[in-house]
Amino acid sequence: MTRVFGKMLKKFYKKDPVEEIIMRMPPQLVGGAFFYAKIRGGKTAAMLSMALRYKDTYGYNIVDMYGGERNENMYALLSSDEINYWDYVKKKFNIKDNQEGPKQYKYIVWTPYFKTKIPKKRPHDPPNVINKLITIPFKEIEIEDMKSGVNSISDTALSLWRDCLDDSKNSDAGPELKETIKKKKGENQLIYKNLLKPLIDEQFLQSKTCIYNLDILNDMKNRDAIKVLNLNHVPQVYHLFIIAWILRQIKDLLHKGKIKKRNVFLFREAREIFNVKDDSVTDDRIKWFRKLLINYIRYGRRGMHMFVDTQSPSETRGIVEGSQDLTFLGRTPATSREDRAAIADALYSVGKITKKQIEMLGDLNPGEFFIIENNEDAKKRYVLLPRTLYWKEKYKNFDNVWAQHVDKWIKTEEDKKMLNDDFRDRENKIKEKEKFEKGMEKLIVVKKIKPVEDSQKPEDTEIIETQKIKETEEITANL
């Protein structure tokens, strides 16, 4: 009797009921991850949650590149407020006592400096949240970056930009660049009108020596902190240019081996970029950026892993197949025939998902997905919420949420003054230089015209010349 009871106990204790319902961490990434679901399907929360788990488990470096129109990437700066949810999770899954569900990660927020748009105060709560103003050195802008900023770049514009880079010094900033372009008569070029001039006027383009320049190397080396690009105040037309520039810089650093591999980049609402259904009305710069992003998606082995969320596989059809390690298929209504056709085309045809599973797509709960790992078939799983805050419909503005939870800010006034003074100084110097050059021209003209009169009135000419020389000396002294 005792033995039988003992055996029963042994049997009972060896089984762990939690193990049966737990979703294990997928293996390390080779490619990227794609999250598809309609609105309220929980795709963005799942993407954030998975990225954070890759950070927690394998030490991936996270760069939250794009938060969509609603700037959703900023909400992760705060830890989750779902206390009851995480208490239940802890209890249900026997989580160790010293481990909290909600987690405050460390963040570096990259805030591009746009003189007229920059907010007066920015969320800043060191050491958890460090908000950095960023500018970019124009000498490091390649023509490829500019293609994401303007719709068309002519060959003339291309050569103009190369000439400008050759003729500029490292210490030159926006005003000097403007002057160089004027000298080269490139003011009518579209890259100047639509991209360079506005960015110079906004003081976003700076010299190589500017202290506000984005220090990608150091920030990327700090793998503990999640990097967030805050494009909230930046006009939408420049978003892709800034993202493209940052991605290229990181790619270059990876090529040179200066930063470690295993970097995850998050893109929300990628439908704006990927939507290939109506390509005829898509801007050229978006098409170019899409091309870039597709290249980066295939850069997994080099250390860049893209996590992208879109509403439907039909948007990425033919673009990303074969490059994803993880595909998350969330709630897709039965009425969406095109989406289902895309799923069937991409996954059913290769036997990854069954017909029954496709039919079930319309009934999935928020957060529930059919997950397809590289070589495995689709499995139905629920992804836990991120341990940070994430965007919800009730939030209107991130600043309000931040004010409610943390309410610690950094003022932009001093930085603005510094950059403004530098910009004005440079402009004044250019004006003085212009004046000086004009003065010199006059002097040369006087010298050329005067010789005949010189013989007649040598004393007057001397007076004029000495006056001119004095003037020029004064200008040079000022310079």
- Applying CB under 8 A, the residues found at the interface with another protein are 2, 5-6, 9-10, 13, 16-25, 49-50, 53, 56-57, 81-82, 84-85, 88-97, 99-101, 365-368, 379-385, 387, 392-394
Which is closer to another protein, CB of 289 or CB of 369? 369
SS3 state at 298? coil
Which is closer to another protein, CB of 349 or CB of 397? 397
In 3D space, the residue among 198, 205, 212, 210 whose CA is nearest the CA of residue 174 turns out to be 205
∠ at Cα 338 (334, 340), nearest 5°?
50
> Shortest gap between Cβ of 6 and another protein (angstroms)?
5
Contacts (Cβ under 8 Å, ≥6 apart) of 325: 26, 27, 29, 30, 31, 32, 33, 300, 373, 374
Which is closer to another protein, CB of 110 or CB of 398? 398
Which is closer to another protein, CB of 82 or CB of 219? 82
Which is closer to another protein, CB of 10 or CB of 120? 10
- For residues 212 and 204, what is the distance between their CA atoms, to the nearest angstrom? 10
> Shortest gap between Cβ of 324 and another protein (angstroms)?
18
Which is closer to another protein, CB of 29 or CB of 195? 29
SS3 state at 460? helix
Contacts (Cβ under 8 Å, ≥6 apart) of 386: 45, 48, 49, 52, 76, 80
Which is closer to another protein, CB of 56 or CB of 473? 56
SS3 state at 312? coil
Structure tokens at 343: 């799923």
> Shortest gap between Cβ of 381 and another protein (angstroms)?
5
Which is closer to another protein, CB of 100 or CB of 454? 100
> Shortest gap between Cβ of 297 and another protein (angstroms)?
23
> Shortest gap between Cβ of 319 and another protein (angstroms)?
27
Cis? peptide before 112, omega within 30° of 0: no
SS3 state at 358? helix
> Shortest gap between Cβ of 382 and another protein (angstroms)?
4
Which is closer to another protein, CB of 82 or CB of 309? 82
Q: Pairing relation of β-strands 121-123 and 409-411?
A: antiparallel
Task: Please state the φ and ψ torsions of residue 257, each to the nearest 5 degrees.
Answer: 75, 20
> Shortest gap between Cβ of 87 and another protein (angstroms)?
8
CA atoms within 13 A on the CB side of 55: 26
| Rounded alpha-carbon distances, angstroms, from residue 18 to 14, 23, 25, 93, 358 | 12, 10, 15, 6, 28
In 3D space, the residue among 283, 328, 322 whose CA is nearest the CA of residue 309 turns out to be 328
> Shortest gap between Cβ of 383 and another protein (angstroms)?
5
> Shortest gap between Cβ of 349 and another protein (angstroms)?
23
- For residues 147 and 162, what is the distance between their CA atoms, to the nearest angstrom? 14
